[in-house]
Chain A
Amino acid sequence: MASLADKLSDILNSAVNFGPELLLVSGILLLIVVDLMVKSSRWLSVVSILLATLVLVTDAMQWKLLENPVALFSEFLMLDSPAAAWKVVLDIGVLLVMIMAGRSVPLKSRGESYPLIFTLLLGGHLLVMASNLLIVYLSIELISIPSYVLAAFHFNKRGVESAVKYLLFGAVASALMLYGMSWIYTFTGNLNFIRPEFIDALLNADIIPLTIATVLMLSGLLFKIAAVPFHIWAPDAYTSSPTAVVALFSTVPKLAGFSILAKWFLVINLFGLSSIDWVSILSVIAMITLLIGNFSALRQSSVKRMLAYSSIAHTGFMMVAIVSVSEQASRNLFFYATVYTLMNIAVFTLVQLLEHKENITKAEEYKGMIRKYPFTGVLIVVLMISLAGLPPTGGFTAKLLVFTSLWEAYDYTQNPVLLYLFLFGLLNTVISLFFYLKVPFFMIFRERSDPQKDGEQKNVVWENYFVMILVLVILFLFFKPDSLMDVINNISFAF
């Protein structure tokens, strides 16, 4: 048993490597105070963007300086290079959302939204570093509770309806996960799931209770990434929340969930020694997720709802990388996640812009918009192509990488389920074209209901330039994927 002095010095040493999170916490407190004292929302917005940038910079520095994995706070957290890299992606997501929130009336009219969003980011940071079941539970709650509140931020009937459904669903999912954790703790006597003793104890546990516990545990994680059968909350929450919040929901919690699922999947699979074939089970879940995401998206008229189902389908594609179980697959998942963050936030920025300017939400209402907003229209076309995964965009490269690693996994294990998943994924990419290209189709090939007037050419605002930069990055990642891949290859995903 370590002495008290040792424990205290461990805490102090850990705090050194905890800089970005400490910054975040101080920022959250600062934002609460600023919100009380300053009435103008402009200041809050500026402080938030500054804070997000600062956190991003410190995280990037931490990633660059990190040499060996460090255990923090008596092994509650494990700061290794994947965790540092995931944190950077989460930070980028929040920074882009903060910029995007510049036009979000519901977020700006209530200053509390900013600390809530940063709390969500803090939860994401802790989740990607977590190496302890207690921290997994707490950080999932730290992500969820602000999400429930943010989902209601329109404060209209639909807003609170989606919030209450999200809340009840999320509370049940986390209760299921908690019960699973209590059994897993019973088997292992250890909360720290990256210790070898933990894995050993799971190997010795009886298979039936272990399976029940794992299924319960997985349900909480599947809820966070919006995979079937825990996806039902997503379309409602996406349709009725403020668009900036939707951009946040579809990226930060989902990616944090993926990073922990990738870690957990290795644990429950017991590094291939498990007698239950979790790879096949997760592959089937991925297939159903793809199917439900894509086919439901086909029927939607609301653009936000369609994008909600599209993000469920993207969950399916990212799960493809998880079931491929290899270091390269983890890298490809990371690449996919980066591209997904950029394109999703970019497309939601433009949806928010048109919602704000023209008050349109349905795909049909986009008709002829390319003549009124030529710049915006072209950007939307490129982004939809990227979301569908066609060249010449980063979306294509990401899908290609993910399916390459799946094919390699199939080649190696000869598991037929992986082959079905491969074919199924390709088929779904084709199906997704129909709904992704619906919006560009209406924009280009349908005439506007109100005839064009003169002097309407100057519909260019800051969002256009903002999204243009993101689109250029997405295109760049198609032509030079190595520029990002080289960085990713330095991440050691070995467990």
Chain B
Amino acid sequence: MIPLEHFYFISAILFALGLAIVVTRRNAIFVLMGVELMLNAANINFVAISHGGKLEGQLFALFVIVVAAAEAAVGLAIILAVYRRFKTINLDKVNEITD
């Protein structure tokens, strides 16, 4: 029997790693990867917990996956548009808006 807590520990560490990637990385695609890790972490929680055999958690996880796909599609389209104009996706160098 696996204690539920261990699922939560793994998810918490995954979430922390995702947030650390988001905060420290300057490359836009890296940041997006970090966000995906954070979403996955939340999904592990939703899937692992089960209250009296209800499937709400699993359904929530399914919707999160759908939203993640939509967000990734729009996100990468915008990142490509940035790359075409700035020739870089380093967020420190994407700095046209000044004042």
Question: Do any CB atoms of chain A lie under 8 A from CB atoms of chain B in the complex?
Answer: yes
Which residues of A are interface residues toward B (Cβ below 8 A)? 133-134, 137-138, 141, 145, 148-149, 152, 155-158, 160-165, 167-168, 171-172, 175-176, 178-179, 181-183, 185-186, 189-191, 236, 239-240, 300-302, 305
B6 in the interface (beta carbon within 8 A): no
CA distance A300 to B99 in the complex (A): 7
Given contacts A186-B49, A236-B97, contact A172 B35 (CB under 8 A): yes
Chain B residue total in the interface (Cβ 8 A): 45
The answer on a CB contact under 8 Å between B82 and A239 is no
CB contacts between A and B, total, < 8 Å: 118
The answer on a CB contact under 8 Å between B97 and A240 is yes
The contact of B81 among A133, A152, A301, by CB within 8 Å, is A152
Closest 8 CB pairs of A and B: A189-B51, A182-B45, A175-B38, A178-B42, A182-B42, A179-B42, A160-B81, A157-B96
CA distance A419 to B57 in the complex (A): 43
Q: In the assembled complex, how far is the CB of residue B81 from the closest CB belonging to chain A, in whole angstroms?
A: 5
The contact of A175 among B39, B54, B82, B99, by CB within 8 Å, is B39
The answer on a CB contact under 8 Å between A175 and B95 is no
CA distance A305 to B98 in the complex (A): 11
- Who on chain A is nearest to B38 by CB? A175
The contact of B78 among A138, A148, A186, by CB within 8 Å, is A148
Determine chain A's interface SS by DSSP, over half rule: helix
Residues of chain B contacted by A305 (CB below 8 angstroms): 99
The contact of A179 among B15, B63, B96, B99, by CB within 8 Å, is B15
The answer on a CB contact under 8 Å between B99 and A302 is yes
The answer on a CB contact under 8 Å between A163 and B42 is no
- Who on chain B is nearest to A141 by CB? B67
The answer on a CB contact under 8 Å between A183 and B45 is yes
| 13 A-B pairs in the complex with CB atoms less than 8 angstroms apart | A156-B85, A161-B96, A162-B97, A164-B28, A164-B78, A167-B71, A167-B75, A171-B32, A172-B38, A178-B42, A185-B46, A189-B49, A189-B52
The contact of A168 among B19, B32, B45, B63, by CB within 8 Å, is B32
Residues of chain B contacted by A141 (CB below 8 angstroms): 67, 70-71
The answer on a CB contact under 8 Å between B74 and A148 is yes
CA distance A108 to B71 in the complex (A): 25
Q: In the assembled complex, how far is the CB of residue A204 from the closest CB belonging to chain B, in whole angstroms?
A: 14
B64 in the interface (beta carbon within 8 A): yes
CA distance A240 to B82 in the complex (A): 14
CA distance A236 to B28 in the complex (A): 17
Scan residues 49-71 of chain B and give those whose CB is less than 8 A from a CB of chain A. Answer: 49, 51-52, 54, 56-57, 59-60, 63-64, 67, 70-71
The answer on a CB contact under 8 Å between A175 and B18 is yes
The contact of B64 among A157, A158, A164, A178, by CB within 8 Å, is A178
- Who on chain B is nearest to A188 by CB? B51
Residues of chain A contacted by B46 (CB below 8 angstroms): 182, 185
B17 in the interface (beta carbon within 8 A): no
Which residues of B are interface residues toward A (Cβ below 8 A)? 8, 11, 15, 18-19, 22, 28, 31-32, 34-35, 38-39, 41-43, 45-46, 49, 51-52, 54, 56-57, 59-60, 63-64, 67, 70-71, 74-75, 78-79, 81-82, 85-86, 91, 94-97, 99
Residues of chain A contacted by B22 (CB below 8 angstroms): 168, 172
Q: In the assembled complex, how far is the CB of residue B91 from the closest CB belonging to chain A, in whole angstroms?
A: 8
The answer on a CB contact under 8 Å between A158 and B45 is no
Q: In the assembled complex, how far is the CB of residue A208 from the closest CB belonging to chain B, in whole angstroms?
A: 13
- Who on chain A is nearest to B28 by CB? A164
The contact of B49 among A133, A185, A300, by CB within 8 Å, is A185
The contact of A161 among B31, B32, B39, B82, by CB within 8 Å, is B82
The answer on a CB contact under 8 Å between A164 and B82 is yes
The answer on a CB contact under 8 Å between B67 and A179 is no
CA distance A189 to B75 in the complex (A): 32
The answer on a CB contact under 8 Å between A179 and B49 is no
The contact of B70 among A145, A152, A191, A240, by CB within 8 Å, is A145
Given contacts A137-B67, A157-B86, A185-B46, contact A168 B97 (CB under 8 A): no
Most buried by B among A133, A134, A179, A190: A179
Q: In the assembled complex, how far is the CB of residue A127 from the closest CB belonging to chain B, in whole angstroms?
A: 15
The contact of A134 among B63, B85, B86, by CB within 8 Å, is B63
- Who on chain B is nearest to A146 by CB? B74
Q: In the assembled complex, how far is the CB of residue A409 from the closest CB belonging to chain B, in whole angstroms?
A: 35
CA distance A152 to B85 in the complex (A): 12
CA distance A251 to B45 in the complex (A): 34
Residues of chain A contacted by B56 (CB below 8 angstroms): 185, 191
Residues of chain B contacted by A152 (CB below 8 angstroms): 78, 81
CA distance A152 to B31 in the complex (A): 19
The answer on a CB contact under 8 Å between A161 and B67 is no
The answer on a CB contact under 8 Å between A145 and B42 is no
- Who on chain B is nearest to A148 by CB? B74
Residues of chain A contacted by B85 (CB below 8 angstroms): 156-157, 160
CA distance A156 to B78 in the complex (A): 12
Residues of chain B contacted by A176 (CB below 8 angstroms): 19, 38
Residues of chain A contacted by B96 (CB below 8 angstroms): 157-158, 161
The answer on a CB contact under 8 Å between B45 and A186 is yes
